[in-house]
């Protein structure tokens, strides 16, 4: 954890030094988030979906970070399209009223709260917080200033509360719809597991967020969001996404030299397989409440594999999954090779991006597949033990 803090601090200081020398300053994904808050402070919210307005706001955000910059420097640092739904805009409204570094630290601190609290509940004996902060996805999320903590925290906390407090669990899961594609498997899991109250609460939460955003911002941002969706889909075709930082089967296929069509076929097959696995596990686990943590782990590990668009910082979602696995291994016992697989898989993520840059190999999906295999093995073993005990 100390190493992560030193690394991130060094990068930030280096960014200011590069800017002062006239070189390209440090770019983080928080810059367009801050730029969006600048837009919403001064213009109607639908302007965040307009590339030219976003580009201009990005340059303004870059100058607020580094001071005087050339047009070229500000342009490199500033622009990224806004891909989030209008409900997400509600979260960024206060940021423009804060200095950049204060906004960045506040954003990470507030979004980390549900993430840290859920990990603290999953792992006993004060192991949760150190594990949450030491897991490599935490570094990626802090380094990019991204949303991984928020998604992982809301989904993780929702899954924790699912059996004992289904309405609260569903409410938290619904709030994660600010990044809607990460909930693609959740409805199937809830229905297969018979969690009807949680499903209803999650649906109500999603609709409530939509209604709140319409009341606060109007309906034009939603029309703009829908209208720009095809623009974002075209990014897959034109190579706008940084493949080494992506962790999906689609990106791995593209790095390996497959055509776009072949990559989409592979991604669709993997997505269908993930849907089948999650649905079966949650249906099978209906009568085995003691395996709920393993069911949640399967869902969290399968989700990034089911998506064509996910990045290293999004793997914060697998940290609760790893914690559920570790907790199960501690309580039920596990072989040394299982511990090595869990620890080694997480550690190997640190080198995934650099390895993908050096050679056309993205190891992250393979790591996710191995960890998913471990979760499935332990789930099946737990179910078999329960059934043997019952007979």
**Phi then psi dihedrals of residue 24, to 5 deg:** -70, 120
Please, is 18 exposed, middle or buried when counting C-beta atoms within 10 Å of its C-beta (0-12, 13-18, 19+)? middle
H or E, element range at 4? helix 2-21
User: What pLDDT, on a 0 to 100 scale, did the predictor assign at position 237?
Assistant: 82
Q: Which of 45-59, 123-137, 249-263 shows the highest mean pLDDT?
A: 249-263
pLDDT tens, position by position, 50-92? 888 888 888 888 877 877 777 776 767 656 788 899 999 999 9
Hey, is 246 helix, strand or coil? strand
- Spatial CA neighbour of 300 closest among 282, 284, 286: 282
Chain mean pLDDT for the chain? 89
Tokens encoding 235: 């990014």
Count Cα atoms within 13 angstroms, Cβ side, for 314. Answer: 25
What is the structure's pLDDT at 77?
Answer: 66
Is the predicted pLDDT of residue 229 greater than 90, yes or no?
Answer: no
Whole-angstrom distance, CA of residue 107 vs CA of residue 232: 25
How far is residue 66's CA from residue 74's CA, in Å, rounded to a whole number? 9
The answer to whether 97 and 70 have CB atoms below 8 angstroms apart is no
Q: Is 298 exposed, middle or buried (0-12, 13-18, 19+ CB in 10 A)?
A: buried
List beta partners, residue 289.
none
Local confidence band at 126 (pLDDT 50, 70, 90 cut-offs): confident
pTM for this predicted structure: 0.92
For residue range 175-217, what is the model confidence (pLDDT) as tens digits? Answer: 999 899 999 999 999 999 999 999 999 999 999 999 999 999 9
Compute the average pLDDT of residues 90-110.
90
Encode pLDDT of 303-357 as tens digits: 999 999 999 999 999 999 999 999 999 999 989 999 999 999 999 998 888 888 8
pLDDT at 59: 81
Q: In the prediction, which pLDDT does 150 show?
A: 94
Q: What is the pLDDT of residues 365-374, one digit of tens each?
A: 999 999 999 9
| Among 329, 332, 330, 331, residue whose Cα is nearest residue 374 | 329
- 120: which 2 tokens? 């603290």
Percent with pLDDT over 70 in the chain: 96
C-alpha gyration radius of the chain: 21
- Whether residue 371 contacts residue 325, with contact meaning beta carbons closer than 8 Å, is answered with yes
With a cut of 90, say whether residue 276 has pLDDT above it: yes
Nearest CA to 220 among 367, 63, 89? 89
Neighbours of 24 (CB within 10 A): 13
Residue 115 or 8, more confident = 115
């Amino acid at each position: 954890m100390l190493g992560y803090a030193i690394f991130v601090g060094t990068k930030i200081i280096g960014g200011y030094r590069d800017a002062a020398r006239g070189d390209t300053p440090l770019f983080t994904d928080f810059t367009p988030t801050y730029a969006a808050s600048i837009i919403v402070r001064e213009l109607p919210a639908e302007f965040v979906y307009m590339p030219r307005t976003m580009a201009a706001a990005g340059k303004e955000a870059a100058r607020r970070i580094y001071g005087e910059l050339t047009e070229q420097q500000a342009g490199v640092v500033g622009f990224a399209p806004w891909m989030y739904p209008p409900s997400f805009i509600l979260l960024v409204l206060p940021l423009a009223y804060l200095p950049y570094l204060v906004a960045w630290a506040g954003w990470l601190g507030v979004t980390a709260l549900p993430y840290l609290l859920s990990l603290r509940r999953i792992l006993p004996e004060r192991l949760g917080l150190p594990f949450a902060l030491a897991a490599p996805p935490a570094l990626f999320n802090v380094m990019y200033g991204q949303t991984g903590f928020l998604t992982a925290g809301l989904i993780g906390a929702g899954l924790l509360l699912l059996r004992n407090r289904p309405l609260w669990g569903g409410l938290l899961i619904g709030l994660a719809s600010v990044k809607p594609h990460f909930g693609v498997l959740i409805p199937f899991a809830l229905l297969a597991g018979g969690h009807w109250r949680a499903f209803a609460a999650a649906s109500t939460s999603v609709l409530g967020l939509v209604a709140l955003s319409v009341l606060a911002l109007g309906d034009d941002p939603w029309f703009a969001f829908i209208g720009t969706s095809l623009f974002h889909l075209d990014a897959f075709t034109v190579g706008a996404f940084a493949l080494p930082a992506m962790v999906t089967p689609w990106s791995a296929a593209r790095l390996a030299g497959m055509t776009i069509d072949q990559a989409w076929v592979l991604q669709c097959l993997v997505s269908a397989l993930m849907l089948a696995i999650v649905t079966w596990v949650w249906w099978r686990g209906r009568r085995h409440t003691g395996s709920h943590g393993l069911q949640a782990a399967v869902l969290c590990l399968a989700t990034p594999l089911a998506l064509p668009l996910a990045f290293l910082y999004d793997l914060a979602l697998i940290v609760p999954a790893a914690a559920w696995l570790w907790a199960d291994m501690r309580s039920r016992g596990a072989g040394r090779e299982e511990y090595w697989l869990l620890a080694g898989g997480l550690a190997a993520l640190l080198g995934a991006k650099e390895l993908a840059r050096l050679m056309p190999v993205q190891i992250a999906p393979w790591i996710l597949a191995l960890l998913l295999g471990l979760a499935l093995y332990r789930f099946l073993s737990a179910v078999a033990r329960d059934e043997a005990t019952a007979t």
